[in-house]
Amino acid sequence: MAHRPFRPVWGRLLPFVIVHVAAVAGVVVVGVEAAWVLLAAGLYVVRVLGTTLGLHRYFSHRSFRTSRWFQLVLALWANTTLMRGPIQWAANHRHHHRTSDGPADFHSPGRRGLLHAHVLWFLDRELSETPVKPCRDLERYPELRALDRYYPLPAYALAAALYALGGWPWFVWGFLVSTVATWHAVFLINSGAHVWGSRRYDTPDDSRNNALLALLLLGEGWHNNHHHDMHAAWHGRRWWEVDLTYYALRALAAVGLVWGLRRAGDARP
């Protein structure tokens, strides 16, 4: 059966393209300096961590517990990436786990190809038209509902702060370049981690473990491990499977900001 054509949501596609074009044009205009590259790299790590620790392991899978005020911090942190609010992100991701690599999965490479799995799904009308189960555990918090509605505001605040502190070079490298890098790194888990790598567990999907993606995505590349036990806070299963997001969680737990890190095999909350 032929797949239906890509149907873009112009309100998402145009800003997505504009950010990419602005990042490339900005680099051409302001040039390259080591300090600016380091700024982009540092903010890439910070923003990817906001996604892996906040949007993924906390809001989507509840892999640990925290206070209501730090939950809000995690949501604000994650929203600097411009990848929708915590409730919608979690709802879409939980839908992925329920339908992984099946006909209803938004981003399965085996369903509609690698490009669609990587990025086109995010820009397709199907994402808006497909009903997903509500995240009632998150929707009971009015502050999270507000951040879902106004999710770009933390990113805009970051962009304004970077411009105020360092002018156009900081805006271009710190905001635009790190935004594009963060987007495509996170999207690689949807695409590459279901195509390239090894499988330790015989899960009913195509998830793979990939050491390179694990380094790039701060531990998310141990994706087959994750699909085998999606609620575990540690995605590694061996000492050599580096998981920087988990190490960050251990540090936060040491100072009392989070607790109850769930181990592999723990019952679902």
- How is 142-189 classified by DSSP, letter by letter? HHHHHHHHTTTHHHHHHHHHHHHHHHHHIIIIIIIIHHHHHHHHHHHH
pLDDT (0 to 100) of residue 128: 84
What is the model's pTM? 0.94
Phi, psi of 141 (to 5 degrees): -100, 115
- Residue 51 corresponds to which tokens in the numbers above? 């996604």
Is pLDDT of 184 > 50? yes
Cβ–Cβ under 8 Å, residues 53 and 250: no
Average pLDDT, the chain: 94
d(CA 53, CA 245): 6
- Helix-helix angle 34-49:178-190, to 10 degrees: 40
Is pLDDT of 3 > 80? no
- In which residue are the tokens 């806070």 written? 233
Phi, psi of 124 (to 5 degrees): -90, 145
**Predicted confidence band at 81 (pLDDT cuts at 50, 70, 90)?**
very high
Is pLDDT of 236 > 90? yes
**Predicted confidence band at 268 (pLDDT cuts at 50, 70, 90)?**
low
SS3 at position 95: helix
Q: Give residue-wise pLDDT tens across range 202-225.
A: 999 999 999 999 999 999 999 999
What value does the mean pLDDT take over residues 178-203?
97
Express as a percent the part of the chain with pLDDT over 90: 88
Q: Show me where the domains of the chain are located.
A: 10-259
Is pLDDT of 87 > 80? yes
Three-state secondary structure of 181-205: HHHHHHHHHHCHHHCCCECCCCCCC
What value does the mean pLDDT take over residues 166-194?
97
The radius of gyration of the chain from alpha carbons, rounded to an integer in Å, stands at 18
Of the given ranges (38-52, 92-106, 247-261), which has the lowest mean pLDDT? Answer: 92-106
What value does the mean pLDDT take over residues 76-99?
96
Is pLDDT of 182 > 90? yes
d(CA 244, CA 87): 24
Is pLDDT of 62 > 90? yes
According to DSSP, the residues that pair with 65 across neighbouring strands are: 259
More confident of the two residues 80 and 106: 80
Is pLDDT of 230 > 70? yes
d(CA 110, CA 102): 9
Is pLDDT of 156 > 50? yes
SS3 at position 126: helix
**Predicted confidence band at 2 (pLDDT cuts at 50, 70, 90)?**
very low
